[in-house]
Copies of this chain bind each other. A is one copy, B any other.
Amino acid sequence: MIPRLFVSDPLGPNHRVVLDHDRTHYLKNVMRRSLGDEVGLFNGRDGEWLGAIESYGRAGAWLLVTTMRRPQMAGPDIWLAFAPVKRARIDLIAEKATEMGVSVMLPVMTRRAEPSRVNIERLTNIAIEAAEQTERLDIPEIREALTFDRLIAGWPPERILFVCAEAGAAEPIAEAVMSRKGRSACFLIGPEGGFAPAELDALRKLPFVVPVGLGPRLLRAETAAIVALACWQALAGDGATPESRPPFRGEFVS
């Protein structure tokens, strides 16, 4: 298995990249890679490249970029808006949404959201690690938290806002997604106590809102996010064709 690392530097033949302390430690002490060993590198712009470890120094590890492994491809255009929840659960949302191929994450302060500050830097680091493991070519953009009112006031009207509502009328998720295939979309997941009645009222009046139901069981926020995104990816996203497979697992085919 070749370790994959996200970097911010440009990638191209004979470029050199220096890794920070944490990544150097990971490569040297956790993955036990030696000089000359190969590493996968991606930056969200230039595709995925192979790099060879040239040196381990005080500043970090130096890598020489050699050959392209995969060209850059745009991921699916699917957003996730979510109300902040307790720390362990919000970390899970960042990790899982990244695994599920989300392009943009929007923390939204609904009335019943946990009041704590959203640490965008921590969530971004979690997303980077998840992107490395999940074989994505990019990392999701995690935007600053905004209020519920600002979210709906500034909403791009051509983008469907699927509201995962636990109460009231809603289209079943599969039907809702299949009948709007090809449209740009975002899922909105409420906080643990659900949306406030006034919020649900406001949402249901908006032309771009489609309330969707995720079945008869109450789901935790991170589970709801995965369920909604799983159905979207399988029915309208990039999981619908037989060719849609993780790229680097050929070695396990017998």
Chain B residue nearest in CB terms to A174? B234
> Are B242 and A168 within 8 A (Cβ)?
no
> Are A239 and B215 within 8 A (Cβ)?
yes
Q: Contacts A218-B133, A226-B227, A230-B226 given; indicate if A174 touches B249 (C-beta within 8 A).
A: no
* Interface hub of A135, A215, A237 (most chain B Cβ within 10 A): A215
> Are A242 and B213 within 8 A (Cβ)?
yes
Chain B binder among A58-66, A79-87, A141-149, A197-205: A197-205
> Are A245 and B197 within 8 A (Cβ)?
no
Task: Select one of B201, B230, B235, B239 contacting A213, CB under 8 A.
Answer: B239
Task: Select one of B99, B167, B175, B252 contacting A219, CB under 8 A.
Answer: B99
Q: Report the bound CA distance from A111 to B171 in whole Å.
A: 42
On chain B, the residues within 8 Å of A170 by CB distance are 242, 245
The reply to whether the CB of A217 lies closer than 8 angstroms to some CB of chain B is yes
Task: Select one of B134, B223, B253 contacting A100, CB under 8 A.
Answer: B223
Chain B residue nearest in CB terms to A240? B172
A247 CB → nearest B CB, Å: 7
Dominant SS at the A interface?
Answer: loop
The count of identical subunits is 2
Chain B residue nearest in CB terms to A247? B216
The reply to whether the CB of A120 lies closer than 8 angstroms to some CB of chain B is no
Q: Report the bound CA distance from A74 to B173 in whole Å.
A: 22
Q: How large is the interface on A (under 10, 10 to 19, 20 to 34, 35 or more residues)?
A: 35 or more
A243 CB → nearest B CB, Å: 9
A-B contact pairs, 26 of them (CB 8 A): A99-B220, A100-B227, A101-B215, A133-B220, A167-B253, A168-B254, A172-B234, A172-B239, A172-B244, A174-B234, A174-B239, A197-B253, A197-B254, A213-B239, A213-B242, A214-B239, A215-B233, A215-B238, A216-B239, A216-B244, A216-B245, A216-B247, A226-B226, A226-B230, A227-B230, A231-B231
Q: Which residues of A contact B (CB under 8 A)?
A: 96, 99-101, 133-136, 166-175, 194-195, 197-198, 200-201, 213-220, 223, 226-227, 230-231, 233-235, 237-242, 244-247, 249-254
